[in-house]
Homo-oligomer: A and B are copies of this chain.
Amino acid sequence: MLGERSLKEISVAHVSLRDVAERSGVSFQTVSKVLNGEGRVAAATRQRILDVAAELGYVPNSLARSLATRNSRTIGFIASGLASFVLTPLMKGAEREARARGYSMLFTLAEGDEEQAERLVHQLIERRVDGIVNAALTLQQSRSYGDLLRRLAPSVSIFPVQGGGVPVVGEDPGTTGLLATRHLLALGHRSIGTIAGDLDRPSSNGRLRGYQQALKEVGIEADPDLVDVGRWSADGGFEAMNRLLDSAPTITAVFVHNDHMAIGAMRALYERGLDVPEDCAIVGCDDIDLARHIVPSLTTVRISFERSGETAVRLLLDQIASRELAPERLILPVELVVRASSGGAREIPSMSGQRG
């Protein structure tokens, strides 16, 4: 009765099967049967048990259950190096799918070196996760990390894992590059540059190949001078665009490998007094929230990370249930979203396009 609340009041002593059993005059195993809907129990007894359980506020202890059943219905999610506009939808998709199937998700960040990542995976194993979704971009090159994923738990990854053997779900970067570049070509551009993120990474490398293929399709020879690297950031895009403009002033369009760099590139053009799309058309990748809000709105290839997360979990859970390794690669579709920055849309699109 002190005005001050104390935590002792908060942390409720949990009631167990035994407590419910005692109060209902049956064995605790019978209570277990009733609560799990198994076994044959008289309707009257069943109801009595149910009532008592409700009255006492019984909450099952899934720790104990996991110990007995040897599966935790928990998956681990390991992330690192992802921009928030990627990580958030990824996690949302993953969490939604996991919970829909009765699983919980342990979220971890693998920001440190390999060694730390190793500890992290072990912590997940200590917690007896049934499987792992890998979204640790910074560990993409690590062989030992790949080994862990292969050895320690059923896993699915958002990007290729060093050494293979872990199913990958995601966009086909070649298609992304193809779509973007074909769009620019269809608009009549013939001198098209591209700003890659990081050529060591499959996603950017693949987009580059898609770009090259699209050019080839119309008989244009890919010019290495029209390729620059922006390291995924707006700043990088800004600098890359400036270099491109200096070395190849004839370009009339640029395919940029993500929206952030595209925004940086647009700033470079702006500062030189060049108009988008009149003087130079721009196409990005990702379709971040702001893509349709900047001026001019950004044409981009939409990649649904939410769907990636969801699919990754689905694959993982199916794999766990069937005890069979999922296919090595599951490709998710991408979609070209045409807006003002490519000159592909006639007018500035309405602001009320996609609300809610």
Q: Which single member of B64, B92, B154 contacts A67 (CB below 8 Å)?
A: B64
Distance in angstroms between the alpha carbons of A225 and B268 in the assembled complex: 38
* Contact status A323-B95, CB under 8 Å: no
A239 at the interface (CB under 8 A from B): yes
* Contact status B290-A290, CB under 8 Å: yes
* Contact status A295-B319, CB under 8 Å: no
Given A290-B263, A293-B234, are A106 and B109 neighbors across the interface (CB < 8 Å)? no
| Interface residues in chain A, defined as those with a beta carbon under 8 Å from any beta carbon in chain B | 4-8, 10-12, 14, 59-64, 66-67, 72, 74, 77, 83-85, 87-89, 91-92, 95-96, 99, 104-109, 111, 120, 122-123, 125-128, 150-154, 165, 233-235, 238-239, 260, 263-264, 266-267, 270-271, 289-290, 293-295, 319-320, 323-325, 348, 351-352, 355
Write out the residue numbers on chain B whose beta carbons fall within 8 Å of the beta carbon of A351: 235, 238-239, 264, 267
* Contact status B239-A293, CB under 8 Å: no
Name the distance in Å between A243's Cβ and chain B's nearest Cβ: 13
Given A150-B10, A293-B264, are A62 and B238 neighbors across the interface (CB < 8 Å)? no
* Contact status B290-A260, CB under 8 Å: yes
Q: Which single member of B5, B106, B122, B271 contacts A106 (CB below 8 Å)?
A: B106
In the complex, residue of chain B having the shortest beta-carbon distance to the beta carbon of A264: B293
* Contact status A95-B67, CB under 8 Å: no
* Contact status B95-A7, CB under 8 Å: no
Distance in angstroms between the alpha carbons of A319 and B8 in the assembled complex: 11
In the complex, residue of chain B having the shortest beta-carbon distance to the beta carbon of A96: B109
Distance in angstroms between the alpha carbons of A234 and B294 in the assembled complex: 9
In the complex, residue of chain B having the shortest beta-carbon distance to the beta carbon of A322: B7
Given A294-B263, A323-B7, A325-B6, are A107 and B128 neighbors across the interface (CB < 8 Å)? no
Write out the residue numbers on chain B whose beta carbons fall within 8 Å of the beta carbon of A355: 233, 235
Name the distance in Å between A305's Cβ and chain B's nearest Cβ: 10
* Contact status B122-A109, CB under 8 Å: no
Write out the residue numbers on chain B whose beta carbons fall within 8 Å of the beta carbon of A109: 92, 95-96, 99
* Contact status A104-B85, CB under 8 Å: no
Distance in angstroms between the alpha carbons of A64 and B61 in the assembled complex: 12
Write out the residue numbers on chain B whose beta carbons fall within 8 Å of the beta carbon of A239: 351
Which 5 pairs show the lowest CB-CB distances between chains A and B? A84-B88, A234-B293, A107-B107, A84-B84, A62-B126
Given A267-B293, A351-B239, are A128 and B63 neighbors across the interface (CB < 8 Å)? yes
* Contact status B107-A151, CB under 8 Å: no
Distance in angstroms between the alpha carbons of A320 and B11 in the assembled complex: 10
Residue contacts A-B, CB under 8 angstroms, 25 given:
A6-B323, A6-B325, A7-B320, A61-B128, A62-B127, A74-B106, A77-B107, A84-B87, A91-B91, A95-B107, A99-B108, A99-B120, A104-B123, A106-B106, A107-B107, A234-B293, A235-B293, A235-B355, A263-B290, A263-B294, A264-B293, A264-B351, A267-B294, A267-B351, A294-B294
Given A95-B107, A105-B107, A293-B263, are A127 and B63 neighbors across the interface (CB < 8 Å)? yes
* Contact status A12-B151, CB under 8 Å: yes
